[in-house]
Every structure is written in C-alpha cells, then in structure tokens.
Amino acid sequence: GKISGLVSVHFDYDSSTLTTESRRQLAANADWIKSNKATVQVEGHCDNRGSGEYNLALGERRAKAVKNYLVSLGLDSKRMTIISYGEEKPIAMGDSEEAYAKNRR
C-alpha cells in the first residue's frame, strides 16, 4: 500500500540489488519508520516477464534485500515482515519498458 512518508524503491530488470538511489530512499524511509515507531510489511513485486514461480522468488529476494538494508540502518528486524507478490499486483498495466520499470519494486 501507499503510506504517506514512505516511498517505494525500484529494481533493475531481473535484479534484487539495491541501487545507490534505492539506498538513499531507504535511508529516508528508515528515518520515517524510526520516528513513527512503525511496524511495516516489506513487499516484493516484479514485472510480468518470467514464470510465476520465478517472479515469486525474485520478489522475495527484493523484499529481503530491502529488509536487510533497513536492519543495517538500525531498524529492529522484528518490526518488519516480508512478502512477495511476484507479478500479481502490478501498479502499471501493459507490456512497455515504462510499465515494467514501475512494477519492479
């Protein structure tokens, strides 16, 4: 879901590696989570390329990468859960690179 004060980070195609920009965004998210004493669910999403099984696994790796980075910034891992939706909850429809990029989050 969309929570005011938090931003989604995006991933390159077929990757669960955080970019420099993603790390910057996650640092801001970590500050917000700390100041609001929030518990969060970290979701992993993919574009619709690849099999359903593959995308669920990739979404899980993405969610774990985000959670691990937030933990490295001082957040308690017990305040975060992860879930992978794979390609099941797109925010952009279509088969364009623009749509694919929006869904890799």
Q: What pLDDT is recorded for position 2?
A: 75
Q: Is the pLDDT of residue 1 over 90?
A: no
d(CA 75, CA 84): 20
Q: What pLDDT is recorded for position 3?
A: 83
- pTM score, whole prediction: 0.94
- The angle subtended at Cα 91 by Cα 11 and Cα 95, nearest 5°, is 80
Model pLDDT for residues 35-89, shown as the tens digit of each residue: 999 999 999 999 999 999 999 999 999 999 999 999 999 999 999 999 999 999 9
47 compared with 2, residue with greater pLDDT: 47
Q: Which long-range contacts (CB under 8 A, 24 or more apart) does 98-101 make?
A: 99/47, 100/13, 100/47, 100/48, 100/49, 101/10, 101/47
